[in-house]
Amino acid sequence: MFSLDKRVALVTGAATGIGQIIAVHLCMAGTDIAISDKPGVSMKLTERLCRPYGRKVFKVEIDIRDISQIRSCIKRIEKEMDHIDILVNNAGINKYAPIRDVTLKNWDNHFNTNVRGGFFCAQAVLGKMIERQYGRIIFISSQSGLIGIPGQAVYCGTKGALVNMVRSMGVECAKYNITVNSIAPTFIETNFTRKRLKNKEFLAFVKGKIPCGKLAEREDVANAVVYLASEEAKMVNCHTLAVDGGWSAW
Ligand SMILES: NC(=O)c1ccc[n+]([C@@H]2O[C@H](COP(=O)([O-])OP(=O)(O)OC[C@H]3O[C@@H](n4cnc5c(N)ncnc54)[C@H](O)[C@@H]3O)[C@@H](O)[C@H]2O)c1
């Protein structure tokens, strides 16, 4: 139903975890894809998983904390793929730290990765999107942008910032037929969360907060991305779509 045939997408943080499956689902829906991750992080598995769908797959290393790298790499992608229709700002970090342990370095690293990086990726793709009068910009926020989790004030701050940033960006971009939205997933087992979810007490707390008693899966987020990236979602703008099984509702 949600065909993205002939669209071109860029996914950041696509080497592993949620970003990897987002890239695969976008290819399944018909996009050519640029996959990116930090320099030195292998994207071979993502590339292999994307290939069977017969779409063009282009790998590019971008450390999204580095604005000049973002700008030059997005120019390279646009040269190779002509343009970018769909940007998925997925790369993110989360280092547990109670308030009194938060250092300036920890603060800057979170905000520069989770907020600043995605913003400047969006800024860099916007020129071509405006020229072509089409675009879909999707940030992977978190349920932690909608509710508070102890020991994660900085992470929650970054993800909450995205929830309001997409409101402003979406309003500004709407006249160009560009939508800007975010997705707020609950806990999913990835490298990001595996260690914490191994703690039985923490896992029981998490499952107790999700009304169906189950963690989400990477595919739940990827399906939401495909929807928001589609023509059918043209009237969904400035929105944060919770993929949290209802956690943030109570
Ligand atoms: N796993 C969860 O439970 C969960 C829940 C809600 C939201 N999220 C969000 O989903 C996104 C993906 O998380 P995940 O669980 O797949 O984590 P992950 O750690 O498996 O993947 C994150 C990817 O981002 C990349 N990355 C980190 N810093 C980067 C940088 N500076 N430049 C470029 N790439 C960088 C990593 O190399 C990695 O490939 C994150 O934004 C995270 O906040 C995750």
pLDDT tens for 180-231 read 999 999 999 999 999 999 999 999 999 999 999 999 999 999 999 999 999 9
pLDDT greater at residue 93 or residue 150: 93
Residue 70 lies in a domain: yes
0.85 surpassed by pTM: yes
Residue of 35, 39, 4, 3 lying closest to 22 (CA atoms): 35
Rounded Cα distance, 211 and 106, in Å = 32
pLDDT tens for 128-146 read 999 999 999 999 999 999 9
How close is the Cα of 131 to the center of ligand 1, in Å?
A: 30
Residue 193 lies in a domain: yes
- Indicate if ligand 1 lies below 6 Å from the C-beta of 140: yes
Residue 182: partners with Cβ closer than 8 Å, 6 or more residues away: 138, 139, 140, 141, 145, 162, 163, 166, 239, 240, 241
Residue 1 lies in a domain: no
Q: Among all residues, which ones are annotated catalytic?
A: 155
Residue 226 lies in a domain: yes
- Indicate if ligand 1 lies below 6 Å from the C-beta of 188: yes
CATH number of the domain bearing residue 137 = 3.40.50.720
Number of domains composing the chain: 1
How close is the Cα of 191 to the center of ligand 1, in Å?
A: 8
Residue 39 lies in a domain: yes
pLDDT greater at residue 2 or residue 48: 48
Range of the domain at 91: 8-249
Closest atom, ligand 1, to C-alpha of 155: 43
**For residue 84, what pLDDT is reported?**
98
Rounded Cα distance, 208 and 187, in Å = 12
Residue 206 lies in a domain: yes
- Indicate if ligand 1 lies below 6 Å from the C-beta of 109: no
Residue 3 lies in a domain: no
pLDDT confidence bin for 2, thresholds 50/70/90: confident
- Indicate if ligand 1 lies below 6 Å from the C-beta of 16: yes
Residue 94 lies in a domain: yes
